Structure 1
Amino acid sequence: MYFDRKNLTDDELIALYKQLLLPRLIEEKMLVLLRQGKISKWFSGIGQEAIAVGCTAALQADEWIMPLHRNLGVFTTRNMPLQKLFKQWQGSKDGYSKGRERSFHFGSSEHFICGMISHLGPQLALADGVALAYKLKHEKKVSLAFTGEGGTSEGDFHEALNVAAVWDLPVIFIIENNGYGLSTPTHEQYRCANLVDRAKGYGMEGVQIDGNNILTVYDTIKGIREYCIREQKPYLVECMTFRMRGHEEASGTKYVPQELFEYWGQKDPVNNYELFLQQQHILSDSSVSHIHQEIKQTIDEELKSAFESAVIIADTLTELSDVYAPKKTFIAAQGEAKERHEKDAPGTQEKRFIDAISEGLYQSMEQHENLVLMGQDIAEYGGAFKITEGFVKTFGKERVRNTPICESAIIGAGLGLALEKCKSVVEMQFADFVSVGFNQIVNNLAKMHYRWGQQADIVIRMPAGAGVGAGPFHSQSNEAWFMHVPGLKIVYPATPADAKGLLIAAINDPNPVLFFEHKALYRSISGTVPIEYYETEIGKARIVKKGNDLTIITYGSGVHWAEAYAGNNSALSVYILDLRTLLPLDFDAIRESVAATGKVLILHEDTLTGGIGGEISAWISEHCFEMLDAPVVRCASLDTPVPFNIELEKNFLAKARLSDAVKKLMKY
């Protein structure tokens, strides 16, 4: 193996050696502890250390890295305290994830390392978002993301590289091509000659290098970093290497031909670099031995302290409280000391539902200079529903960004922006299309704060619902898909005033918020809306109307159906509760509404089976049983896809069965 030291001093060469050796010696110790049952899982990077160490050493300490399972060298080169790393791997409360994550699935904002998820591809888009933040702030920085050759088969790889190229983002994408995705060899993963050849297809530069040569990796990444900053463009690097152990220790290596181990064993990154330093008389045998002993002693000392960590005592309140990031008091750009809520906002104006949403977005853009809007056709065209029409003229295309059709990458980019303390609102052209970004939402956004304390400050706007004859792929009410996911907040306003106030509150909230907007309400519903900037509190239901005979608990379009029914049946005294927020639910308001009448009907546009009506009904039965004078009745849409024909659609919707449902309840 040829090493080109270029202009590196002896001290710099030795520093790289120590950084390269440290993860190797830690791993050797971890494998012993694994056999002793003192840690439960280990993903070995033995043989691949030069990539993680070289890439990290070539970056500035405050540039974000998105690592994978085998990138221990990223953590050690960023000088993360070994004692805390050991505690992390033991599942200690004093680790980086409070015992909630395993092995390398954790991050540290202090060290600018993002916690990975097991799905491999999604973290690439986070690097896009971080790089976009650098670009918007005019900072001369890059982000760097790792993936394996197997990960390049995922759609997220394509989406992330495409967005980075289209938006000219300073991102370095690293492919660690170690020959196998668990047991699947490369020839079963792709047919191109080299993965780096894909770079041209995305309109970016790329290079293939020897990933086992620490000086090659370090020098290449340093040069690429300068290129990305100077040219404001991404770069793809394929690092050729080999995994000397199993995907994880339990999987073994029986599927790998022995000759591969012999070939790559001769290319060991640590042994070869050590030999080079000795041949160049930069290190002697005794100095090598001393460095080994010094590092091993440090490891043993840090391990001893780590093993003294207290045993975790589970505390339910702590676990629940850490699901969401705490909301701090918002301080407006003009220096206002507190939030302005709807009741405090002077002056109102009659507005359509759609215009209230647009105004809430516009005023939020004025309040937050770090807020970015992203979505398909939202710039000059103004979006499919024209909600952002004219925004480009005021805020520019940097902050009002048309996106390629790649929902997963754009949601991931929003999360990357959050890492750099920027806010984002992502528009799904239709709520139905969020399915192709589902993984980012339920596995990345929702779990981020609970896993390693990082807030995911992003709002996803979801134009949803039927009633406009749009058919099965543009009419779904899919809020229930996300109700089962801790860490998300789900908002579904029914009035223009709530649409504006809740959207502003969602943007100010540090947690991921899915903001559902019913398309049929856009231009059909009007109401008085405060002119100024204000919030409507998330998590609080609204009493639309008080009554004594029966309670209708609903949200979205159901609110208007309930109001219309009550207006046409004045002999009944109907209590109507508009939930407004679906996650978290306002259980106090639900209990109060049940107590008011003793008869409850839950109304929603979503289909019956698996809809949130089932969850609310179960809660009422469990917690309010003594208050009930009849079983809880659910009224929902048919358990079919949403039909296109208007007559079929009318029959599909819950509104068609509301009268019968009320009669059933009142006869009990």
Structure 2
Amino acid sequence: MHFNRRDKDDQFLLEIYKKLLYPRMVEDKMLKLLRQGRIGKWFSGIGQEAIAVGSTLAMQKQEYILPMHRNLGVFTSRNIPLKKLMAQWQGKLTGFTKGRDRSFHFGTQDYKIIGMISHLGPQMALADGIALADVLAKKQHATLVFTGEGATSEGDFHEAVNVASVWNLPVIFLIENNGYGLSTPINEQFKCKNLADKAIGYGIEGIQIDGNNILEVYDTIDRIAKDIRQNPRPVLLECLTFRMRGHEEASGTKYVPQELFDEWEKKDPLSNYEAFLIEEGILNADAIQKLKVQFKSEIESEVEEAFNEPEPTENASDEENDMYFPHQQEIILAETTSTEKRYLDAITDALDLSMEKYPNLVIMGQDIADYGGAFKITDGFTEKYGKGRVRNTPICESAIVGAGLGLSINGYKAVVEMQFADFVTVGFNQIVNNLAKTHYRWGEKADVVVRMPTGAGTGAGPFHSQSNEAWFTKTPGLKVVYPAFPEDAKGLLIAAIEDPNPVLYFEHKYLYRSLSGPVPDGYFTTEIGKAVTLASGNKFTIITYGLGVHWGLEYIKNNPQCGATLIDLRTLQPWDKEAVRNAVKQTGRVLILHEDTLTNGFGAEISAWIAEHCFEYLDAPVIRCASLDTAIPMNKILEDDFLAKSRLATSIEKLLKY
């Protein structure tokens, strides 16, 4: 292995050695602890340390790095105390995740490190968002994100690299090619000769280097980072290396031919660099031994201190509260003047006012810039706010939701538009596993609103008409709002954008142009989690939201003596239990109405809660009126029969017979 010191002085070369030796000795200690049964799991990076250490030293301290589970050298090179890391690995209260997650699944703003989740690929889109925030803020920063050769087969890899390429984002996509994805060799994972060649398809630079040569790693990252800070663009860097242990220790290494171990042992990054320093007269055996004694003492001390750190205590309230970033909503009262507006125009108004209030707010979505969006909600926004903040995206929902989280991590707010709520399936993982869990895991906000044009009634068929809110009301960490009127559409969207937590904002596209109403002028907010009573009666209660509100109002208008109370929930997570309880007390009979399909629709949760908490007030079983348990047909006759509205009258009759 050839090392080129270039202009590095002896002291710097020695510091690199210390940074390389330390994580190797920590790894050795972890393996001993594993054999002793004192820890339960370990992902070893032995043989790959040069990549983590060299790249981290080449990045500036204020620049973000997004490593993976074999990159201990990133964390130690950023000088995170081993005691803190060990507390994290052992699930201690003083760990970064308070015992809620393991390994390197955490982030820390103090050290500008954003950890991965187990799905491997999603962190690459976060790097896009982080880099975009730097570009918008005119900071000359680079962002470094790690991935393995196996994850290059995932759609997340393609989406993130493509977005970074199209948007000229200063991201270094570093692929650690260690030959195996768990036990699957590279010849069973991809056909191309070199992963660096994938860069050609994205119109960016691709580089392949010896990932075990720490000076080559350092010099390459240093050169790339300096360049893209001045001339923002992504670079794909493939680092050839080999892991000398299993995927994790329990998996073993029997699937790897012994000759590979023999070959790569000769390329060990630590022993080769050590030999180079000895040859240069910078190191000698005594100095090496002194360093090892010093490090061993430090490691032993910090590991044992971490073992003595307190365990978390059971506290259900703390666990539930920590799903969300602390936020006390300020209710901003509406002005007394109002203007008649369509539902669609109220959403536009909310976005416009929020863009004025928050210069760090970015809107992203397909066709939303010059075209103004599929429904023209952002028409004219690029002229007013520029294409930096109103961004057309490639068709890649996962990357854009992930970029929204990256923007939030780096000090921005994001609104992501799904062209149709149905298309959210392609970004599902980012929403339910990244947006929803980030604050619970390591205390970081996820300041992202996902706009969801939803619902049927337009003859759009199975893939443009779904009411999929129940997919997300099941997920702790998300907030879900669903306005039924133009005024609420404006007030709830402004409130959602103000909220630093992830909010799914459902907007019914059937109402866009068919419903108008008075909308207060100016900036105001509607309380998230607060229902409204639209009609009062004493015979039965209809609990609903979205288009169901208008079905209920139509029924009451056509049956003025029916004696119905109508509750519009407006928010589904959190939802207004007190309003529901009071209505059940008042009437004793409850019908839950929603557009979504019956089985496991959100009405099932309300029904179960009423049965558990309001049973003594009931004079009849809770009845649910929902759409058929089928996909949504396109033909109007079939669609009308599918929708819950077609069964509303008979459902009410059934309820009142008890």
Contact 2:432–2:475 (8 Å) recurs in 1? yes
The answer to whether 1:483 aligns with 2:473 is yes
**Partners of 2:40 and 2:474 in 1: how far apart?**
29
**Partners of 1:129 and 1:592 in 2: how far apart?**
44
Contact 1:88–1:103 (8 Å) recurs in 2? yes
* Counterpart in the other structure of 1:133: 133
**Partners of 2:282 and 2:422 in 1: how far apart?**
62
Q: 1:528: Cα distance to partner?
A: 1.3
Q: 1:661: Cα distance to partner?
A: 0.3
Contact 2:531–2:569 (8 Å) recurs in 1? yes
Contact 2:339–2:518 (8 Å) recurs in 1? yes
* Counterpart in the other structure of 2:332: 341
Read off the aligned partner of 2:271 and give its amino acid letter. N
Q: Which of the residues 368, 393, 396 maps onto 1:403? A: 393
Contact 1:47–1:212 (8 Å) recurs in 2? yes
Contact 2:480–2:504 (8 Å) recurs in 1? yes
Structure 1, unmatched stretches of 5+, are 330-338
Q: Any residues of structure 2 matched to 1:35-114 within 5 Å, and which?
A: 35-114=35-114
**Partners of 1:660 and 1:115 in 2: how far apart?**
53
**Partners of 2:209 and 2:199 in 1: how far apart?**
14
Q: Which of the residues 370, 377, 382 maps onto 1:380? A: 370
Q: 1:634: Cα distance to partner?
A: 0.2
Please identify, of 306-315 and 7-16, the stretch whose mean Cα deviation from structure 2 is larger: 306-315
Q: Any residues of structure 2 matched to 1:587-598 within 5 Å, and which?
A: 587-598=577-588
Q: Any residues of structure 2 matched to 1:15-414 within 5 Å, and which?
A: 15-327=15-327, 339=330, 341-342=332-333, 344-414=334-404
Contact 1:325–1:510 (8 Å) recurs in 2? yes
Q: Which of the residues 510, 518, 533 maps onto 1:543? A: 533
Contact 1:115–1:452 (8 Å) recurs in 2? no
Contact 2:130–2:409 (8 Å) recurs in 1? yes
**Partners of 1:113 and 1:304 in 2: how far apart?**
25
* Counterpart in the other structure of 2:554: 564
Q: Cα deviation per residue 1:509-567 (whole Å; 9 max; x = unaligned)? A: 11110000000111111111111101111111111112111000000000000000011
* Counterpart in the other structure of 1:419: 409
Q: Cα deviation per residue 1:478-513 (whole Å; 9 max; x = unaligned)? A: 111111111011110001111001000100111110
- Could you say what secondary structure the match of 2:572 adopts? strand
The answer to whether 1:667 aligns with 2:637 is no
Contact 2:83–2:305 (8 Å) recurs in 1? yes
* Counterpart in the other structure of 1:333: none
* Counterpart in the other structure of 2:514: 524
Read off the aligned partner of 2:101 and give its amino acid letter. E
* Counterpart in the other structure of 1:336: none
Contact 1:635–1:657 (8 Å) recurs in 2? yes
The answer to whether 1:494 aligns with 2:510 is no
Read off the aligned partner of 2:594 and give its amino acid letter. H
- Could you say what secondary structure the match of 1:521 adopts? coil
The answer to whether 1:586 aligns with 2:576 is yes
**Partners of 2:572 and 2:17 in 1: how far apart?**
54
* Counterpart in the other structure of 2:632: 642
Q: 1:34: Cα distance to partner?
A: 1.4
Q: Cα deviation per residue 1:249-295 (whole Å; 9 max; x = unaligned)? A: 11000000000000000101111111111111101110111111111
Q: 1:340: Cα distance to partner?
A: 5.2
Relative to 1, partners in 2 of residues 1:294 and 1:328: Cα closer, same or farther, differing over 3 Å? farther
**Partners of 1:117 and 1:547 in 2: how far apart?**
50
Read off the aligned partner of 1:316 and give its amino acid letter. A
Contact 1:340–1:533 (8 Å) recurs in 2? no
* Counterpart in the other structure of 1:334: none
* Counterpart in the other structure of 2:564: 574
- Give TM-score scaled by structure 1 length: 0.98
Q: 1:600: Cα distance to partner?
A: 0.3
Contact 1:579–1:586 (8 Å) recurs in 2? yes
- Could you say what secondary structure the match of 1:111 adopts? coil
Read off the aligned partner of 1:562 and give its amino acid letter. G
The answer to whether 1:599 aligns with 2:568 is no
Contact 2:331–2:526 (8 Å) recurs in 1? no
**Partners of 2:320 and 2:261 in 1: how far apart?**
47
The answer to whether 1:9 aligns with 2:17 is no
- Could you say what secondary structure the match of 2:126 adopts? helix
**Partners of 2:397 and 2:39 in 1: how far apart?**
38
Q: 1:304: Cα distance to partner?
A: 2.2
Q: Cα deviation per residue 1:58-116 (whole Å; 9 max; x = unaligned)? A: 00111111111101111111111111111111110110000001011111111111121
Contact 1:505–1:536 (8 Å) recurs in 2? yes
Read off the aligned partner of 2:401 and give its amino acid letter. I
Q: Which of the residues 484, 487, 502 maps onto 1:512? A: 502
Read off the aligned partner of 2:574 and give its amino acid letter. P
Q: 1:348: Cα distance to partner?
A: 1.3
Q: 1:568: Cα distance to partner?
A: 0.6
**Partners of 2:53 and 2:571 in 1: how far apart?**
46
* Counterpart in the other structure of 2:543: 553
Q: 1:345: Cα distance to partner?
A: 2.7
- Could you say what secondary structure the match of 2:209 adopts? strand
- Could you say what secondary structure the match of 2:262 adopts? helix
Read off the aligned partner of 2:138 and give its amino acid letter. H
Q: 1:38: Cα distance to partner?
A: 1.8
Relative to 1, partners in 2 of residues 1:637 and 1:124: Cα closer, same or farther, differing over 3 Å? same
Q: Which of the residues 439, 451, 458 maps onto 1:461? A: 451
- Could you say what secondary structure the match of 2:104 adopts? coil
**Partners of 2:573 and 2:328 in 1: how far apart?**
19
- Superposition CA RMSD, Å: 0.9
**Partners of 2:298 and 2:39 in 1: how far apart?**
19
Q: 1:161: Cα distance to partner?
A: 0.4
The answer to whether 1:438 aligns with 2:428 is yes
Q: 1:346: Cα distance to partner?
A: 3.1
**Partners of 1:371 and 1:213 in 2: how far apart?**
42
- Could you say what secondary structure the match of 1:144 adopts? strand
Q: Cα deviation per residue 1:5-60 (whole Å; 9 max; x = unaligned)? A: 11111111111111111111111101111122222211000000000111111001
**Partners of 1:510 and 1:40 in 2: how far apart?**
36
Structure 2, unmatched stretches of 5+, are none
Q: Cα deviation per residue 1:373-421 (whole Å; 9 max; x = unaligned)? A: 0000000100000000000110000000000000000000000001111
Q: Cα deviation per residue 1:312-348 (whole Å; 9 max; x = unaligned)? A: 221111111100001156xxxxxxxxx4524x43321
Contact 2:331–2:527 (8 Å) recurs in 1? no
- Give TM-score scaled by structure 2 length: 0.99
Contact 2:341–2:486 (8 Å) recurs in 1? yes
Read off the aligned partner of 2:471 and give its amino acid letter. W
Contact 2:134–2:140 (8 Å) recurs in 1? yes
- Could you say what secondary structure the match of 1:110 adopts? coil
**Partners of 1:312 and 1:357 in 2: how far apart?**
44
Read off the aligned partner of 2:139 and give its amino acid letter. E
- Could you say what secondary structure the match of 1:133 adopts? helix
Read off the aligned partner of 1:447 and give its amino acid letter. K
Contact 1:92–1:99 (8 Å) recurs in 2? yes
Read off the aligned partner of 1:475 and give its amino acid letter. S
**Partners of 1:545 and 1:524 in 2: how far apart?**
22
Contact 1:38–1:90 (8 Å) recurs in 2? no
Read off the aligned partner of 2:610 and give its amino acid letter. I
